[in-house]
């Protein structure tokens, strides 16, 4: 992107918020599929967003919605959003993997402690 076409900080914040919601809803694959297929028609899609703007104002923050629609006019914005979704998804998967690893280790320790306790309290034969 050239300096003139670069996303503003506010637009980047909006993209970040959208990417985080996609990850929270576990909709990474559908979002990436939709955005990738929309790339060639991103300008038409952005004009659709502008056209439904009065109805969308009821559901979304009007300033954020307007800036999102403006940003989506440029193909680079779609790519930026895709990259943010992919990066956040990778972080999320890594955090989930670490959490599963910690849980597995805790279960293993708990079983070992229970086993040791049973052996301590078992009457001698």
- Residue 66: predicted pLDDT: 92
Asked if residue 2 is part of any domain, the answer here is no
Q: Which domain holds residue 65?
A: 9-91
pLDDT in tens for each of the 125 residues of the chain?
Answer: 444 468 999 999 999 999 999 999 999 999 999 999 988 888 898 899 999 988 988 888 999 999 999 999 888 999 999 999 999 999 999 999 999 999 999 999 999 999 988 888 766 66
Q: Considering the domain boundaries, does residue 30 fall inside one?
A: yes
Domain membership of residue 82 (yes or no) is: yes
- Number of compact structural domains in the chain: 1
What does the H/E/C string look like for the chain?
Answer: CCCCCCCCHHHHHHHHHHHHHHHHCCCHHHHHHHHHHHHHHHHHHHHHHHHCHHHHCCCCCHHHHHHHHHHCCCHHHHHHHHHHHHHHHHHHHHHHHHHHHHHHHHHHHHHHHHHHHHHHHCCCC
In a domain, 71, yes or no: yes
Total-model pTM: 0.78
Give me the pLDDT at residue 123, please: 67
């Amino acid at each position: 992107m050239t300096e003139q076409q670069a996303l503003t900080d506010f637009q980047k914040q909006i993209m970040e918020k959208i990417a985080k919601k996609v990850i929270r809803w576990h909709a990474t694959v559908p979002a990436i599929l939709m955005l990738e297929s929309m790339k060639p028609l991103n300008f038409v899609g952005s004009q659709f967003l502008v056209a439904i703007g009065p109805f969308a104002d009821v559901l979304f923050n009007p300033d954020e919605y307007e800036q999102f629609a403006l940003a989506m006019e440029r193909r680079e914005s779609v790519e930026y959003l895709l990259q943010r979704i992919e990066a956040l998804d990778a972080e999320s998967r890594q955090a989930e993997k670490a959490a599963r690893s910690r849980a597995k280790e805790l279960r293993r320790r708990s079983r070992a402690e229970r086993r040791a306790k049973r052996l301590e309290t078992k009457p001698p034969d």
